[in-house]
Amino acid sequence: MDSMPGKSFVITSGKGGVGKTTITSNLGTALSLHNKKVCVVDADIGLRNLDVVMGLENRVVFDLVQVIDGECRLKQALIKHKKAEGLFLLPASQTRNKEAIKPEQMKDLIVRLKEEEEFDYVLVDCPAGIEHGFKNAIAGADEALIVTTPEVSAIRDADRIIGLLQAAEMYDPKLIINRLSMEMVRRKDMMDKEDIIDILAIKLLGVIPEDEGIIVSTNVGEPIVFVDNSKSAAAFKRIARRIEGEDVPIFGEVEQEGLIARLKKLLGLDRKEQQNV
């Protein structure tokens, strides 16, 4: 391995239940499939979830707060994934609360993961909300990935988060749209990705389609990335390739350039186009 420094991402949304934990787990898995050493960090102290979703709950002995408090070594707290080579989890504490750590401590911890443990990628699963837990989670991140679903309230919160990240001098967050149902978009019952980007005005990193398989995979604690023929798995893998620097077209861009999109453009209803004038 060369000495290229690793990169840390915070996966954040403002609103709860939009899929931060699922995305952290699956994106971590997908990146590890590129022969990269990946650490997923659960920053939701007091409400830990990431270990459950990844099927690693029974392996948790030490946690992030104990590492910061010096009760255990960093290596001891890292849990190796049972299936994905190079994928590690740093679990949150279930018994402490978010005030147990400070942003500077979190920052030091991420630096240690990148430098001492030589992780290529550190993904931090941010708790919902904009309070202390959010400030901890973004503290050590080089970049932010904003997750939203095509719902007005989720987009509103994502917008707020983008503003708060700006205030914290993180200016170039990327967007992941989760649970987009092309069927509903076609019926005009759901906002399309163009509408969402139009409001949030940040770069789109990927779109994950609505997929019932996700519920099954999180319940059994197996990342969906390992399931073949899953449409969401394909989307996660594409996002991983984009993070790796490959030029991969956004999911659905080709597929969706169908009748409606073309008609919209013809009629001048395509707002993105107008914005660029």
Partner 1 sequence: MLLKRKPGAVEIKGFGNDIHIILSSEAPFSDIELELIDKLEKSKNFLAGTEIVLDPKDRVLSSEEMEKLEAILSSKFHLKIAAVRTDSSETIEAAEQTDGEIETPRQEEEKLMDEETKTAIIRQTIRSGQKISYPGNVLIIGDVNPGGEVEAAGDIIILGKLRGVAHAGINGDDSSEIIALELTPLQLRIANIIRRSPDSNSEPEHVPEVAKIKDGNIVIENLDKSRRGDG
User: By the criterion CB under 8 A, which residues form the site for partner 1?
Assistant: 152, 156-157, 159-160, 162-164, 166, 199, 201, 268, 271, 274
Of 4 and 267, the one with the shorter C-beta distance to partner 1 is 267
Strand partners, 208: 178
Strand partners, 174: 145, 203
Of 77 and 165, the one with the shorter C-beta distance to partner 1 is 165
On whether the CB atoms of residues 203 and 242 are closer than 8 A, the answer is no
CB neighbourhood size of 40 (10 A): 32
Of 156 and 231, the one with the shorter C-beta distance to partner 1 is 156
Residues ≥6 apart with Cβ < 8 Å to 170: 138, 141, 143, 144
Of 70 and 268, the one with the shorter C-beta distance to partner 1 is 268
On whether the CB atoms of residues 77 and 67 are closer than 8 A, the answer is yes
Which amino acid does the sequence have at 75?
K
CB burial of residue 220 (10 Å; 0-12, 13-18, 19+): exposed
Closest distance of CB 166 from partner 1, Å: 8
Of 195 and 244, the one with the shorter C-beta distance to partner 1 is 195
Instruction: Using alpha carbons, list the distances in angstroms from residue 165 to 10, 133, 134, 158.
Output: 11, 14, 10, 10
SS3 label, residue 143: strand
On whether the CB atoms of residues 42 and 51 are closer than 8 A, the answer is yes
Closest distance of CB 208 from partner 1, Å: 23
Of 48 and 193, the one with the shorter C-beta distance to partner 1 is 193
Give dist(CA 107, CA 258) in Å, integer.
45
Of 162 and 225, the one with the shorter C-beta distance to partner 1 is 162
Closest distance of CB 173 from partner 1, Å: 11
Give dist(CA 254, CA 137) in Å, integer.
35
Closest distance of CB 276 from partner 1, Å: 12
Closest distance of CB 206 from partner 1, Å: 22
